[in-house]
A and B are shown apart, each in its own frame.
Chain A
């Protein structure tokens, strides 16, 4: 648990410090994927209901970010990447993050239930619990597969978006979940190879540090192979279509090529060109996820004109 004594009593937190506790950059990914999940669903919602649903999903995501910062304040203070966050930098107290996280969790779940349906609200509650308790508190510091588990939490938003529109779960929403879930490990581990991290100092077992970079390269390749059938399989469901299929084929070949390059190298080769292949694979992974979901959105947007879907 967070035991941070450097909260600055002289400094009054400003509004932006509380916004920073909600991890706005993570929220933007949550908003985008939840929106695609909602739009891809076969049921149309009133725009006000859709807006409210996305807003409360985003607030729920922010609440789990705040709970994560409360619990992880001790390790955030040690690592360079995170030491300027509101709690380790002394701008807010850990208690404020806990209070904000708990209050916004309750508010977002309650309001999503009222604005959309209780099925979607239950999924949001589970997502917050999964990220804050199962990932942050329980498994992040216990296993080098922590990225895989954290990835599951990040994969729920399109499923919640789908549940907002349809009130249920389906093959399509499970596949959208699987796409983000399988994508996260190669995406993050490519980054972990080339960023000189200090997770070890903070006591967080990262695969690159516990099992070495060779094993990490093998894992990237393994998850990439498992990711491909999921990404291409979505094309043949009700949310896919020719645009998505063409996009998925191109992106999967591109990402596969980048991952094979990472997999075949050893550390001497990687250091010789300053991790160019790993940096390239990480960059491709960003396009990969964004364009897959953009293609799903395009299929949904063109459907009313008879152009989307099969």
Chain B
């Protein structure tokens, strides 16, 4: 019994696999685009750093500074 590298099955499933590839690439592009828009909408991109749940002294407003927000 010989092993055929290219089975007829591969050819039949090619359309489906290419379709799925296209969808996945489109999904990645869409998530990237959405991320760019979301970050830009923050106005001040440094706010983006606040999402990692770690206290960052650089982001804590100085005492007495106008608009200072209480942080723990």
Contact = CB atoms under 8 A, between A and B. Distances in A.
B15 A48 contact: no
A48 B16 contact: no
Contacts of A12: 9, 12-13, 16
Contacts of B9: 12
A46 B15 CA distance: 35
B20 interface: yes
B16 A52 contact: no
B66 to A, nearest CB: 29
Interface string B34-68: 10011001000000000000000000000000000
Contacts, number: 24
B33 A13 contact: no
A46 to B, nearest CB: 5
B34 A15 contact: no
Chain B interface bracket (under 10, 10 to 19, 20 to 34, 35 or more): 10 to 19
A48 to B, nearest CB: 5
B20 A46 contact: no
A74 interface: no
A46 B37 contact: yes
A198 interface: no
Contact of B15 (A15, A52, A55, A115): A15
Contacts of A209: none
B34 A48 contact: yes
Contact of B37 (A13, A14, A15, A48): A48
A270 B17 CA distance: 52
Interface string B1-37: 0000000010011011001100000000010011001
A15 B33 contact: no
Contacts of A46: 37, 41
Interface in A9-57: 12-15, 46, 48-49, 52, 55
A11 B34 CA distance: 38
B17 to A, nearest CB: 9
A14 B11 CA distance: 12
Contact of A48 (B12, B13, B19, B33): B33
A52 B33 CA distance: 10
A115 B37 CA distance: 10
A52 B34 contact: yes
Interface in A44-98: 46, 48-49, 52, 55
Given A12-B9, A15-B20, A49 B15 contact: no
B28 to A, nearest CB: 13
Nearest to B18: A15
Nearest to B30: A52
Which 8 pairs across A and B sit closest by C-beta, in order of nearness? A15-B19, A48-B37, A15-B16, A12-B12, A46-B37, A52-B34, A48-B33, A14-B16
Given A14-B15, A48-B33, A55-B30, 10 more contacts: A12-B9, A15-B15, A15-B16, A46-B37, A48-B34, A48-B37, A49-B34, A52-B30, A52-B34, A115-B34
Interface of B: 9, 12-13, 15-16, 19-20, 30, 33-34, 37-38, 41
24 contacts: A12-B9, A12-B12, A12-B13, A12-B16, A13-B16, A14-B15, A14-B16, A15-B15, A15-B16, A15-B19, A15-B20, A46-B37, A46-B41, A48-B33, A48-B34, A48-B37, A49-B34, A49-B37, A49-B38, A52-B30, A52-B34, A55-B30, A114-B34, A115-B34
